[in-house]
Structure 1
Amino acid sequence: MGATSIIARRLKNGHVQYGWSGNGGYFKNVGNRLLWWYQFPKDVEYLFSLGETALIGQIGSENGGYGWFDTHSPTGEPFSVGDTEREIFSELDFVDYGYFYDIDHK
C-alpha cells in the first residue's frame, strides 16, 4: 500500500464529496499539490469534476503537455457523496491521509 490518501470537500448543501486521491498521499506530495494548484474555489471545483485519481496533477494536465509526475491520473470513478465528515473514511481501508476543503475555502 503506500500512504493512501483521500480528498474531500463540503458542498453548499451540507453534504460531503470524497474519494481516493492516490497512494503516496504524504503532505510533501499530495498536500503540497493541493496547496500549490488548488487554492481557489473554481480550481477545487475543477479537481472534483475529474473524479477519483491515482495522482493529482496540475490544472489541465489531463490534456497533455506536462510530465507524468505533474499529470492527473483519473480512475474513471466518480467521487462519493455522504452526509457527514465521518463517511469520508468509509469506502477505503487503511486511509493514511485525508485532505478536506470546507465551505470557508480552506
Structure 2
Amino acid sequence: MYDLELFVEQYLPYFGHALMALGYILEEIDSFQPPVPSAVVLIGHLCVLTDPRTLTTEQESVRILNIIFLISNLLVFVYDFVLALEFNMPPINELDQYMG
C-alpha cells in the first residue's frame, strides 16, 4: 500500500494541473457562472504548490513567478466572486420581500 504522504506528494500536483486546465476550459465555454471556473483554477494551483519542488527550487525566479501566479489567481477569484454577488443581489427596494 502507498503511504498517504507519498501519494499526495506524487499525484496531487498532477491533479492540480488537471484542475487548472478544467478551470480554463470552463472559462472558455461559458457554461458556468463566473466564480466557479476561477475557483477551480485557484484550487488547482494550490494543489500544484503541494509539490515540494515547486517552491524549493534553487532558481529564485521560479519561486517568484509561482507566487505571482498564485496571487493573480486569487485576485481573479475574488473579482469573480464579488461580481457574482453583485450580479445576483436583488435591488434594494425588493429586499423587503426576501427579508419577510
Q: TM-score range by the shorter chain?
A: under 0.3
Structure having the higher strand fraction is 1
Instruction: Using structure 2 for the length normalisation, give the TM-score.
Output: 0.23
Structure having the higher helix fraction is 2
